[in-house]
């Protein structure tokens, strides 16, 4: 995909792949700024989905006929492609799930319920998404393990001195979000991995907001587990990924039982299939996995470093524009610091839900609420925030439209 300059995205060219962005509401073309929730799907991925069902649809690893063989090869190669995308050491380390949440639960059930007990500790952070926070909270309740939270300061940074205090020889699991979906903070997961490994603990990285928009190499950050979702990176819904180091996945017991994940079954017992199929019980997410591989191709053709830079620039521009108003408070790292492509903010006297409805009248799509970080919002002293989040097809003009609509909304409520 051509770019006008080596480090700048050809956004208008990219937008041609997303016809949904030409939709109009109330006479305005949609400005889709809700990408941290779900990104749009480009035509090459849509065509891959349609092409699979038109030409290749069959169950995998079950039949000797041509269609099954073709589907099986494509599905297996999709694991290879995703492994390459994140720097994993082969398909054995890539398990396809429904989403990031299921990936978190797979590890929590397969590892946490069997390995944790009273006296053990799980260390996570105050900025975790509910998919991590609730999951490990409940594992703690079931096993008797203590759950501890690394503090986040007022600018959305983790207190690393506090992290070093909390992670001890009693720690078995450290679970940390790579990029906060509320603050936009890019957490030092590599450093946290080093601390965890110094105490013989595992680290689970929630990559839902990082893998889609920046280069992520699981070897570089030394993650034991990493989870992310296809629908946040130009892929379809219904497909998530769990990366796990091979030796750990080999030692863990399965999370789900049934077909596909078995090697041999008798009336008395069963043995498990090889990786990664050991963790993919039943008919798997065949088409979604193949489409996710196409999404990886699409993003790599653009360039992950370019995507990271584009999102950071849009976030910085948003902070600059919102900083023009005395009654708007933004959350997370201040302007000038690297952050993910999202900005959460609050307008004094205007509830986020009311604001989101007004912005919808201007065809500006944002997210309002606690963004699955309710404890963090309570810590911040706000019931809800409005979040604008960006991706490869967003422009500064769309941010200007957001700010103009905010100005009108403020006038209305005043």
Tens-digit pLDDT string for the chain (414 aa): 334 445 789 999 999 999 999 999 989 999 999 999 999 999 999 999 999 999 999 999 988 999 999 999 999 999 999 999 999 999 999 999 999 999 999 999 999 999 999 999 999 999 999 999 999 999 999 999 999 999 999 899 999 999 999 999 999 999 999 999 999 999 999 999 999 999 999 999 999 999 999 999 999 999 999 999 999 999 999 999 999 999 999 999 998 999 999 999 999 999 999 999 999 999 999 999 999 999 999 999 999 999 999 999 999 999 999 999 999 999 999 999 999 999 999 999 889 999 999 999 999 999 999 999 999 999 999 999 999 999 999 999 999 999 999 988 888 877
Q: Residue 124 corresponds to which tokens in the numbers above? A: 């996570």
Residue 11 half-sphere exposure, CB side, CA atoms within 13 Å? 16
| pTM for this entry | 0.96
Among residues 234, 287, 296, 372, the one annotated as catalytic is 372
In 3-state terms, what secondary structure has residue 55?
Answer: helix
Q: Is residue 6 part of a domain?
A: no
Same domain (yes/no): 343, 272:
no
Angle, CA of 194, 184 and 204, to the nearest 5°? 35
Residue 95 half-sphere exposure, CB side, CA atoms within 13 Å? 34
CATH number at residue 229: 3.40.640.10
Say how many domains are in the chain: 2
Q: Is residue 53 part of a domain?
A: yes
Same domain (yes/no): 292, 385:
no
Domain containing 331 equals 11-41+304-413
Same domain (yes/no): 288, 167:
yes
Chain centroid to Cα 91, Å, comes to 20
287 is catalytic: no
């Amino acid at each position: 995909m051509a770019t006008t300059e080596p480090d700048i995205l050809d956004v208008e060219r990219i937008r041609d792949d997303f016809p949904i962005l030409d939709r109009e509401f109330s006479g305005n073309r949609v400005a889709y700024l809700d990408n941290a929730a779900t990104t749009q799907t480009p035509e090459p991925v849509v065509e891959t989905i349609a092409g699979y069902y038109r030409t290749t649809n069959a169950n995998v690893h079950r039949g000797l006929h041509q269609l099954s063989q073709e589907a099986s090869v494509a599905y297996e190669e999709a694991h290879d492609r995703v492994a390459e995308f994140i720097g994993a050491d082969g398909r054995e380390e890539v398990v396809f799930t429904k989403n990031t949440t299921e990936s978190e639960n797979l590890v929590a059930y397969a590892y946490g319920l069997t390995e944790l007990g009273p006296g053990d500790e799980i260390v996570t952070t105050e900025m975790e998404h509910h998919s991590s926070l609730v999951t490990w909270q409940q594992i703690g309740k079931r096993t008797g393990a203590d759950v501890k939270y690394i503090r986040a300061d007022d600018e959305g940074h983790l207190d690393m001195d506090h992290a070093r205090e909390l992670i001890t020889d009693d720690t078995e699991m450290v679970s940390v979000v790579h990029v906060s979906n509320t603050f936009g903070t890019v957490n030092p997961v590599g450093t946290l991995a080093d601390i965890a490994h110094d105490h013989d603990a595992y680290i689970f990285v929630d990559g839902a907001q990082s893998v889609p928009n920046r280069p992520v190499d699981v070897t570089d950050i030394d993650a034991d587990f990493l989870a992310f979702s296809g629908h946040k990176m130009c892929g379809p819904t219904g497909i998530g990924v769990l990366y796990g180091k091979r030796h750990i996945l080999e030692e863990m017991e399965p999370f789900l039982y049934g077909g596909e994940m078995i090697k041999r079954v008798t009336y008395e017992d069963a043995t498990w299939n090889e990786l990664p199929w050991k963790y993919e019980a039943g008919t798997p997410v065949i088409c979604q996995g193949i489409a996710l591989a196409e999404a990886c191709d699409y993003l790599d053709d653009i360039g992950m470093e370019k995507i990271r830079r584009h999102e950071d620039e849009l976030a910085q521009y948003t902070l600059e524009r919102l900083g023009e108003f005395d009654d708007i408070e933004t959350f997370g790292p201040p302007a000038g610091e690297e952050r993910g492509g999202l900005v959460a903010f609050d307008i004094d006297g205007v509830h986020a839900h009311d604001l989101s409805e007004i912005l919808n009248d201007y065809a500006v799509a944002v997210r309002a609420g606690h963004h699955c970080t309710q404890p963090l919002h309570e810590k911040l002293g706000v019931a809800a925030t409005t979040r604008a989040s960006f991706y490869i097809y967003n422009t500064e003009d769309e941010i200007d439209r957001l700010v103009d609509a905010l100005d009108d909304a403020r006038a209305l409520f005043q």
